[in-house]
Amino acid sequence: MIRVTSRRNRHLAYLVKLGRRRFREAEGVVLVEGPRLLDEARRSGLKPRLVLVSPEALPTPLSPAVGEWMAGARWVLEVDPGLFAGVATTDAPQGVLAVVDEPPRRVDEVLTAESALVLVIDRVQDPGNVGALVRSAHALGAAAVLPSTGAADAFSPKALRAAAGGAFHLPVARPVPAAVVAARLREHGFGLLGADPRGDLLPWEADFSGKTAIAIGHETAGLDKAFPDLTRIRIPMPGGAESLNAAAAGAILLWEACRRQLAPPADRS
């Protein structure tokens, strides 16, 4: 472990640059902060390139498994809490972060499978919503996430925290225009369902069987017009609210798809 005492250290400067999405993508890496997310990265098989740790700032001791995983990085740096806070991505730094290889983004195997559930994130701009959607997709059995151009980065620090590591465990495609997402889904025979306050069907009336894509649109503009064959699903809100936020709507539709898969055959309607 190398002790770093100057803010001018090149590794610290590199970590600051990783705050920019384009730089992270060009480097092919993800910035992961906090013991829990580091453990998720470890469990998913990602390899650390650089680790920064401030022992005084750690909320609890690191597990032996995480410590062994961190030791495999080329660079393991130790800093005081002040220097760590200067490069941390959270308001309350947890004393450890790592630069890891970007998870594989390949979704071709999912799209060509006989049956699959995928989540489309269409221009959802809040990284907290994007992360929560990825978390629900991971928890409820989706096989992949397809963002459209304009969606917040699923691998930004805020989105990763909201996803609780979910983005490490299922493929998240690189963003492409909504029209390209729609064309790929049609090409591979996916039925496309989306949340819409003006939709004709209720969740229990929709068909979630076979190859299904659930689309969640922009927080105010809704789904892109590039999805002309969309089956629009209205989530009932008897409490009188005008709408649900994107993450909540996505979780409800993903749960309905999951429920259909888990229910006995006689109860799948």
Number of helices (H), then strands (E), in the chain: 10, 10
Residue 168, domain CATH = 3.40.1280.10
Whether 67 and 116 share a structural domain: no
SS3 content of the chain, % helix, strand, coil (to 5): 40, 20, 45
Distance CA 155, CA 166 (A): 10
pLDDT category, 267, cuts 50, 70, 90? low
Location of structure tokens 């105010």: 220
- pTM of the predicted structure, to 2 decimals: 0.93
Residue 261's pLDDT is: 85
Whether 239 and 256 share a structural domain: yes
* Nearest in space to 100 (alpha carbons), one of 61, 153, 50, 63: 50
The residues, ordered by sequence, that sit 6+ positions from 243 with a Cβ below 8 Å of its Cβ are 197, 237
Domain count, the chain: 2
Phi-psi region of 39 (alpha: psi -120 to 50; beta: other; left: phi over 0): alpha
Whether 72 and 119 share a structural domain: no
pLDDT category, 242, cuts 50, 70, 90? confident
For residues 61-88, give the mean pLDDT.
96
Whether 207 and 126 share a structural domain: yes
Distance CA 232, CA 223 (A): 10
pLDDT category, 175, cuts 50, 70, 90? very high
For residues 42-47, give the mean pLDDT.
96
Whether 50 and 180 share a structural domain: no
Whether 55 and 118 share a structural domain: no
Residue 53's pLDDT is: 97
Tell me the pLDDT tens digit for each residue of 77-115.
Answer: 999 999 999 999 888 899 999 999 999 888 988 999 888
Residue 204's pLDDT is: 93
pLDDT category, 1, cuts 50, 70, 90? confident
pLDDT category, 266, cuts 50, 70, 90? low
Whether 124 and 69 share a structural domain: no
* Nearest in space to 155 (alpha carbons), one of 254, 17, 14, 28: 28
Which domain range does residue 57 map to?
2-101
Residue 268's pLDDT is: 58
Whether 192 and 134 share a structural domain: yes
* Nearest in space to 166 (alpha carbons), one of 198, 125, 134: 134
Residue 91, domain CATH = 3.30.1330.30
Last residue of a domain, one of 58, 84, 101: 101
Contact 125, 149 (CB under 8 A): no
Residue 66's pLDDT is: 97
Last residue of a domain, one of 101, 121, 136: 101
Whether 120 and 174 share a structural domain: yes
Whether 121 and 218 share a structural domain: yes
Whether 41 and 66 share a structural domain: yes
Least confident of 73-77, 109-113, 122-126, 181-185: 109-113
For residues 118-143, give the mean pLDDT.
97
Whether 262 and 150 share a structural domain: yes
Last residue of a domain, one of 49, 79, 101: 101
pLDDT category, 264, cuts 50, 70, 90? low
